[in-house]
């Protein structure tokens, strides 16, 4: 991301260049149309609802909200929780990513699988396991203090969202050429020096963006605080409850917009930080990727941390597995298959729908996300920042609000969207695409920014147009990030809940909605059984994607990290 | 030329077959429904309805509050025709916003005035009273008996041990709050609740969450509807006991209503009629809801409204003034 000031002449030249490339020009227009309709328009509707009272512009909703301690306290609670979870989560994610990419740790495949496990289930499942393990009458009652509040939320959200950081960082660390470290070591630098002057600065954009992703996810999460927040109220839940509990769209929208403030600040802070440095490591020059054995005092603490986190994850999910076979979770531990039978009877249709819709959504999101990442990090055009900002937005806005925004925006034909979308599969598909897009874009941007633009410039100088350059040069280099984006998108689609619950219909429904139904009904065992089925489907899909990535990865020397 | 004619003929013929088929078979459209009951329970009733009426139903399960928010957001282009289940206070609230379409169901018995809106904007098809659900192991450990009155809940032994739903997120929570208002008047009710709040461990979003939580020992006492306590607590095998406040308690009427602008009006009417039939009302046994049709049989273990001390619950006032009462609660309790 280069932020030099440009003269007018340069700007005009850029526009001319753009017009000379019709494919690029039209794609930019189409993407803007899509972003306006499916991202900005619904959110605008929410803004409108919060600022308009009986057709008059008014700040009354904001005055009402800011006056009440029960609206303000949750705002600060949310931010504090987000800061803690993002920091711990990014740290855990980084340690895991480092262990997988840089150390000769054994059983990487298993660790990797375990680390991504929490992503493949809705977080409220982890929260339930937390109650059964550490609750007042849990197996380890009192071991981590009172779980209803900040402590419990931190534990569960860290488990749930550290994998996001891990997935974002593994692509970044993989792209850092180990020969740089080799060179530094050969020149006599210590391991610590190599880390602090090479790996850390090179990974910084990835670390910051991972931190940001976790921070935003924590702010928007409502599944966990719904179950564990106790008296530590957070804003996402309050916005959700305001809308679903009090039918109060206006104040719910107002609270949601307050939740946007820290997100927007975080977003621009990150942009500012990243604009200052260049992080090029893949330069097209030949590399031989080897890594020397690490010193024991670095290796073993890292192994220990990975092992501990993996153990915690296994403990939580083991609880879910065990619970799913119990006659009455927490009371009668007679083993039974009844929960699975009941779950299947009710859940067949939900599973079929979720699977079909997610399979449609995933490739579209992956390609669109990578393409937008390419545009915003490689191309100069008017509105580039707007494109980046708006494509990030659905990720920052709490799902409930996106859901309500979609209903407000698409329940009637409008000049932007001439047909009604509510009740169709299209509304679910578009919502999922545009809600998952930011993850793909972030991954893509992080990957692309490590590729020296001169490789692409060389291609263009030799006569290839943007499309060919993207396909033949950029695309192969960002393939790992692309597939991790796909995996991410599929998982997020299958486990989406907060926004989806507003756009599902009798015709098209979603598995997570059914799980939430079970949880609401306190049928924890059936909820666990259905979550496990969901996890099984997702793990299977992840395995397939991994297999494909490995196949493709064979041709790419510079990305393989030797154990 | 001959071939063209043949093709045209074939196309016409197949078109006739294609279009004639559904016209002959299709008598009813598929009924679109929002169900504020649990998925499994809703499916149980709906399957029975599909079998007896031949009308196909597609439903989305949501909490009562979510249904309200959704039909309000969709009011210009309603996606569902029937709102099935949920406290009548929520139906009354939605009705006062003009979101429902009155329909007087065909019943073979007289529907009591408390079981419908004056203009039949909503109709009540089951009832249940607010009760206490207590963990028996907690009682044994402290050597006390289950709370028998609202006043018992203030006992310090229950400090940080009582759970219930927020009055603003759940019909259950609101009914409990409305009961206290009706018993004491708003000001005194707020004072009393401040005392109760000291013993509250946490408020939950869902009305039934506290039942299983009491069963698991995460809290000692939950405040919930009797039918939920039986179906989701005592009946499931949790170590729980149900009791009712001696001062009198509030109750809910479960509502079913037609959404304004419904597309499947005839099908919706048939469904609403069916909800009051002896066949449908007998199905409530499985989930311990109290039927309103006098011919229906009551589940074992379920408490009849005539067996407990009820306050003279004014559902209409409580529904219409819900926003005011809930705001007063939040301003005082601060949650």
More confident residue, A414 or A42: A42
CA distance B212 to B237: 10
Q: Tell me if B73 and A513 make a contact (CB, 8 A cut-off).
A: no
Q: Tell me if A520 and B57 make a contact (CB, 8 A cut-off).
A: no
Task: Give pLDDT, residue B8.
Answer: 55
Q: CA nearest B334 in A: which residue? A: A70
CA distance A126 to B231: 26
Residue A42 lies in a domain: yes
Q: Of A400-404, B52-56, B251-255, B291-295, which range is least confident?
A: A400-404
State the CATH number of the domain containing residue A443.
Answer: 1.10.3720.10
CA distance B44 to B280: 10
| CB-CB neighbors (< 8 A) of A46 in chain B | none
Q: Which domain holds residue A385?
A: 13-52+62-321+348-559
A&B contacts, CB < 8 Å: 139
For residue B270, give both structure tokens: 């048939």
pLDDT band of B16, cuts 50, 70, 90: very low
Q: Say yes or no to pLDDT of A279 above 60.
A: no
Buried-state track B124-158, b at ≥16 Cβ within 10 A, e below 16: bbbbbbbbbbbbeebbeeeeeebbeebebbbeeeb
Q: In this complex, which of B30, B77, B236 lies closest to A422 when CB atoms are compared? A: B77
Residue A1 lies in a domain: no
Q: Which secondary-structure segment (H or E) carries A344?
A: helix A338-378
Q: Say yes or no to pLDDT of A80 above 80.
A: yes
More confident residue, B22 or A425: A425
Q: Tell me if B74 and A411 make a contact (CB, 8 A cut-off).
A: yes
Task: Give pLDDT, residue A4.
Answer: 47
What's the pTM?
0.77
For the ranges A8-17, B20-29, B61-70, the maximum mean pLDDT occurs at B61-70
Q: Say yes or no to pLDDT of B69 above 90.
A: no
CA distance A236 to A241: 9
Q: Tell me if A521 and B208 make a contact (CB, 8 A cut-off).
A: yes
3-state secondary structure string, chain B? CHHHHHHHHHHHHHHHHHHHHHHHHCCCCCEEEEECCCHHHHHHHHHHHHHHHCCCEEEEECCHHHHHHHHHHCCCCCCCCEEEEEEHHHHHHHHHCCCEECCCCCCCCCCCHHHECCCCCCEEEEEEEEEEEEEHHHHHHHCCCCCCCCHHHHCHHHCCCEEEECCCCCHHHHHHHHHHHHHHCHHHHHHHHHHHHHHEEEEECCCCHHHHHHHHCCCCEEEEEHHHHHHHCHHHCCCEEEECCCCCECEEEEEEEEECCCCCHHHHHHHHHHHCCHHHHHHHHHHCCEECCCCCCCCCCCCCHHHCCECCCCHHHHHHCHHHHHHHHHHHHCC
For residue A468, give both structure tokens: 């060919």
Q: CA nearest B69 in A: which residue? A: A247
CA distance B209 to B203: 10
For residue B68, give both structure tokens: 């309200």
Q: Tell me if B58 and A231 make a contact (CB, 8 A cut-off).
A: no
- Is the CB of residue A376 less than 8 Å from the CB of residue A387? yes
Mean pLDDT taken over chain B: 88
| Domains defined along chain B, listed by start | 31-127+253-302 (3.40.190.10), 128-251+320-333 (3.40.190.10)
Q: Say yes or no to pLDDT of A92 above 90.
A: yes
Task: Give pLDDT, residue B20.
Answer: 45
- Is the CB of residue A203 less than 8 Å from the CB of residue A169? yes
Chain center to CA of A93: 13
Task: Give pLDDT, residue B10.
Answer: 53
Q: Which of B50, B57, B69 to mutate to test the interface with A (most CBs of A within 10 A)?
A: B69
Q: Say yes or no to pLDDT of A175 above 80.
A: no
Residue A4 lies in a domain: no
Q: Which secondary-structure segment (H or E) carries A312?
A: helix A296-324
Q: B204 — alpha (psi -120 to 50), left (phi > 0) or beta?
A: beta
pLDDT band of A93, cuts 50, 70, 90: very high
Nearest to A100 by CA among A88, A87, A89, A114: A114
Task: Give pLDDT, residue A1.
Answer: 39
Task: Give pLDDT, residue A289.
Answer: 45
Task: Give pLDDT, residue A2.
Answer: 42
Task: Give pLDDT, residue A95.
Answer: 92
Task: Give pLDDT, residue B4.
Answer: 57
Q: Tell me if B39 and A407 make a contact (CB, 8 A cut-off).
A: no
Q: Which secondary-structure segment (H or E) carries A57?
A: strand A56-57
pLDDT band of B7, cuts 50, 70, 90: low
Phi, psi angle pair for B255, to nearest 5°: -100, 150
Nearest to B35 by CA among B61, B71, B69, B66: B61
Percent of chain A clearing pLDDT 90 (strictly above): 15
- Residue B162 to chain A, least CA–CA distance (Å): 12
| CB-CB neighbors (< 8 A) of A409 in chain B | none
Q: Collapsing DSSP states into helix, strand and coil, what is residue A272?
A: helix
pLDDT digits (tens, 9 = 90+) for A118-144: 877 776 778 878 887 888 877 888 788
pLDDT band of A271, cuts 50, 70, 90: low
Q: Say yes or no to pLDDT of B324 above 50.
A: yes
Q: Which secondary-structure segment (H or E) carries A467?
A: helix A466-469
pLDDT digits (tens, 9 = 90+) for B227-267: 999 988 998 889 999 999 999 999 989 999 999 999 999 99
| B202 bridge partner residues | B163
| CB-CB neighbors (< 8 A) of B40 in chain A | 342, 346, 521, 523
Largest CA distance in chain A: 77
Percent of chain B clearing pLDDT 90 (strictly above): 58
CA distance A212 to A438: 12
pLDDT digits (tens, 9 = 90+) for A381-438: 888 888 888 887 777 677 777 887 888 888 778 888 888 887 788 999 999 999 889 8
- Is the CB of residue B319 less than 8 Å from the CB of residue B89? yes
Q: In this complex, which of B74, B202, B211 lies closest to A522 when CB atoms are compared? A: B211
Q: Which residue has the tokens 């999460």?
A: A221
Q: Tell me what the mean pLDDT of segment A343-369 comes to.
A: 90
Q: In this complex, which of B57, B63, B323 lies closest to A520 when CB atoms are compared? A: B63
Separation in Å, CA A555 to CA A108, A477, A481, B168:
21, 11, 16, 59
More confident residue, A186 or B210: B210
| CB-CB neighbors (< 8 A) of A330 in chain B | 215-216
Q: Tell me if B206 and A520 make a contact (CB, 8 A cut-off).
A: yes
Task: Give pLDDT, residue A141.
Answer: 81
pLDDT band of A18, cuts 50, 70, 90: low
Q: Say yes or no to pLDDT of B303 above 70.
A: yes
Q: Say yes or no to pLDDT of B138 above 90.
A: yes
3-state secondary structure string, A173-238? HHHCCHHHHHHHHHCCCCHHHHHHHHHHHHHHHHHHHHHHHHHHHHHHCCHHHHHHCCCCCCHHHH
Q: How many domains does chain A have?
A: 1
For residue A129, give both structure tokens: 């396991």
Between A150-175 and A425-448, two packed helices, what is the crossing angle to 10 degrees?
60
Task: Give pLDDT, residue B2.
Answer: 54
More confident residue, A222 or A558: A222
Task: Give pLDDT, residue B26.
Answer: 54
Q: Collapsing DSSP states into helix, strand and coil, what is residue A327?
A: strand
Q: Which of B36, B57, B78, B212 to mutate to test the interface with A (most CBs of A within 10 A)?
A: B212
Mean pLDDT taken over chain A: 81
Q: Say yes or no to pLDDT of A558 above 70.
A: no
Residue A339 lies in a domain: no
pLDDT band of A64, cuts 50, 70, 90: confident
Q: Say yes or no to pLDDT of B308 above 90.
A: no
More confident residue, B229 or A446: B229
Q: Say yes or no to pLDDT of A103 above 70.
A: yes
Q: Tell me what the mean pLDDT of segment A207-226 comes to.
A: 84
Q: Say yes or no to pLDDT of A275 above 80.
A: no
Q: CA nearest A235 in B: which residue? A: B335
Q: Tell me what the mean pLDDT of segment B84-111 comes to.
A: 92
Q: Say yes or no to pLDDT of B90 above 80.
A: yes
Q: Tell me what the mean pLDDT of segment A197-205 comes to.
A: 83
pLDDT band of A561, cuts 50, 70, 90: very low
Q: In this complex, which of B65, B79, B211 lies closest to A505 when CB atoms are compared? A: B79
Task: Give pLDDT, residue B265.
Answer: 95
Q: Tell me if B216 and A521 make a contact (CB, 8 A cut-off).
A: no
Separation in Å, CA B281 to CA A379, B46, B47:
66, 13, 14
Residue A183 lies in a domain: yes
Torsion of CA B195, B196, B200, B204, to 10 degrees: -130
Q: Of A470-474, B79-83, B107-111, B315-319, which range is least confident?
A: A470-474
CA distance A130 to A423: 36
- Residue A356 to chain B, least CA–CA distance (Å): 18
Q: Tell me if A407 and B70 make a contact (CB, 8 A cut-off).
A: yes
Task: Give pLDDT, residue B22.
Answer: 44
pLDDT digits (tens, 9 = 90+) for A311-332: 999 999 898 888 889 888 777 8
| CB-CB neighbors (< 8 A) of B99 in chain A | none
Q: Tell me if B202 and A504 make a contact (CB, 8 A cut-off).
A: no
- Residue B206 to chain A, least CA–CA distance (Å): 6
CA distance A13 to A433: 34
Q: Tell me if A135 and B216 make a contact (CB, 8 A cut-off).
A: yes
């Amino acid at each position: 991301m280069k932020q030099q000031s440009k003269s007018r002449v340069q700007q005009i030249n850029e526009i001319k260049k753009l017009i000379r490339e019709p494919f690029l020009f039209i794609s930019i227009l189409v993407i803007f149309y899509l972003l306006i309709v499916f991202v900005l328009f619904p959110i605008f509707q929410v803004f409108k609802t919060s600022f308009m009272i009986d057709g008059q512009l008014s700040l009354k909703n904001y005055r009402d909200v800011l006056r009440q301690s029960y609206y303000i306290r949750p705002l600060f609670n949310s931010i504090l929780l987000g800061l803690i979870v993002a920091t711990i989560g990014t740290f855990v994610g980084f340690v895991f990513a480092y262990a997988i990419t840089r150390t000769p740790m054994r059983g990487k495949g298993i660790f990797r699988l375990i680390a991504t496990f929490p992503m493949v289930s809705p977080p409220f499942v982890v929260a339930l396991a937390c109650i059964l393990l550490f609750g007042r009458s849990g197996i380890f009652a009192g071991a981590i203090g009172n779980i209803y509040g900040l402590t419990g939320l931190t534990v569960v959200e860290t488990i749930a969202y550290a994998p996001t950081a891990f997935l974002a960082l593994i692509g970044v660390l993989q792209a850092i050429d180990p020969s740089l470290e080799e060179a530094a070591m050969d020149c006599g630098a210590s391991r610590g020096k190599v880390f602090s002057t090479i790996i850390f600065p090179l990974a910084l954009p990835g670390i910051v963006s991972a931190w940001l992703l976790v921070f935003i996810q924590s702010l928007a999460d409502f599944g966990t605080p719904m179950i564990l927040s106790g008296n530590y109220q957070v804003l996402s839940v309050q916005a959700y409850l305001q809308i679903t509990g009090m039918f109060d769209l206006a104040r719910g929208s107002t609270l949601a917009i307050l939740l946007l403030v820290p997100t927007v600040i975080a977003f621009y802070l990150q942009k500012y930080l990243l604009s200052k440095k260049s992080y090029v490591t893949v330069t097209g020059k030949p590399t031989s990727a080897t890594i020397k054995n690490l010193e024991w005092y670095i290796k073993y603490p890292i192994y220990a941390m990975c092992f501990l986190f993996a153990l915690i994850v296994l403990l939580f999910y083991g609880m879910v597995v065990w619970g799913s076979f119990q006659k009455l979770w927490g009371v009668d531990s007679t083993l039974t298959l009844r929960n699975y039978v009941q779950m299947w009877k009710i859940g067949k249709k939900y599973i079929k729908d979720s699977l079909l819709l997610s399979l449609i959504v995933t490739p579209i999101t992956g390609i669109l996300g990578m393409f937008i990442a390419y545009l915003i990090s490689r191309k100069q055009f008017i509105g580039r920042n707007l494109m980046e900002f708006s494509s990030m937005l659905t990720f920052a806005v709490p799902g409930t609000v996106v859901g309500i925004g979609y209903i407000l925006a698409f329940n009637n034909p409008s000049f932007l969207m001439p047909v009604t979308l509510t009740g169709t599969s299209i509304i679910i598909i578009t919502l999922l695409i545009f809600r998952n897009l930011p993850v793909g874009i972030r991954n893509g941007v992080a990957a692309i920014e490590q590729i020296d633009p001169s490789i692409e410039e060389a291609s263009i100088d030799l006569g290839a147009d943007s499309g060919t350059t993207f396909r033949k040069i950029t695309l192969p280099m960002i393939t790992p990030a692309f597939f991790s984006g796909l995996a991410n998108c599929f998982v997020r689609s299958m486990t989406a809940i907060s926004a989806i619950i507003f756009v599902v219909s009798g015709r098209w429904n979603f598995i997570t909605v059914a799980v939430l139904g079970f949880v609401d009904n306190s049928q924890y065992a059936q909820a666990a059984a259905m979550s496990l089925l969901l996890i099984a489907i997702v793990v299977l899909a992840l395995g397939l994607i991994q297999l494909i990535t490995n196949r493709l990865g064979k041709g790419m020397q510079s990305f393989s990290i030797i154990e | 030329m001959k071939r063209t004619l043949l093709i045209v003929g074939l196309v016409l013929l197949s078109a006739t077959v294609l279009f004639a088929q559904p016209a002959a078979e299709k008598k009813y459209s598929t009924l679109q429904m929002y169900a504020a009951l649990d998925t499994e329970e809703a499916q149980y009733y709906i399957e029975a309805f599909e079998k007896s009426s031949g009308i196909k139903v597609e439903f989305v399960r949501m909490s009562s509050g979510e249904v309200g928010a959704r039909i309000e957001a969709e009011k210009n282009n309603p996606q569902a025709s029937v709102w099935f289940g949920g406290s009548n206070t929520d139906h009354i609230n939605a009705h006062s916003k003009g979101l429902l379409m009155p329909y007087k169901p065909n019943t073979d018995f007289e529907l009591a005035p408390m079981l419908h809106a004056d203009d039949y904007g909503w109709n009540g098809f089951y009832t249940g009273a607010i009760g206490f659900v207590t963990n028996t192991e907690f009682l044994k450990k402290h050597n006390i008996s289950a709370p028998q009155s609202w006043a018992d809940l203030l006992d310090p032994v229950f400090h940080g041990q009582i759970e219930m739903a927020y009055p603003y997120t759940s019909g259950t929570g609101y009914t409990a709050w409305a009961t206290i208002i009706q018993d004491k008047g708003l000001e005194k009710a707020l004072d009393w609740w401040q005392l109760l709040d000291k013993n509250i461990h946490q408020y939950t979003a869902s009305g039934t969450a506290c039942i299983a939580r009491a069963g698991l020992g995460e809290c000692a006492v939950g405040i919930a509807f009797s039918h939920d306590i039986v179906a989701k607590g005592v009946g499931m095998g949790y170590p729980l006991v149900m009791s009712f406040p001696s001062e009198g308690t509030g109750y809910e009427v479960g509502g079913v209503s037609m959404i304004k602008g419904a597309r499947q009006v005839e099908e919706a009417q048939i469904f609403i009629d069916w909800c009051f039939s002896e066949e449908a009302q007998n199905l409530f046994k499985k989930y311990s809801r109290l039927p309103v049709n006098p011919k229906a049989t009551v589940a074992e273990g379920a408490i009849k409204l005539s067996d407990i001390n009820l306050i003279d619950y004014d559902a209409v006032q409580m529904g219409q003034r819900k926003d005011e009462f809930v705001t007063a609660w939040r301003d005082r309790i601060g949650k």
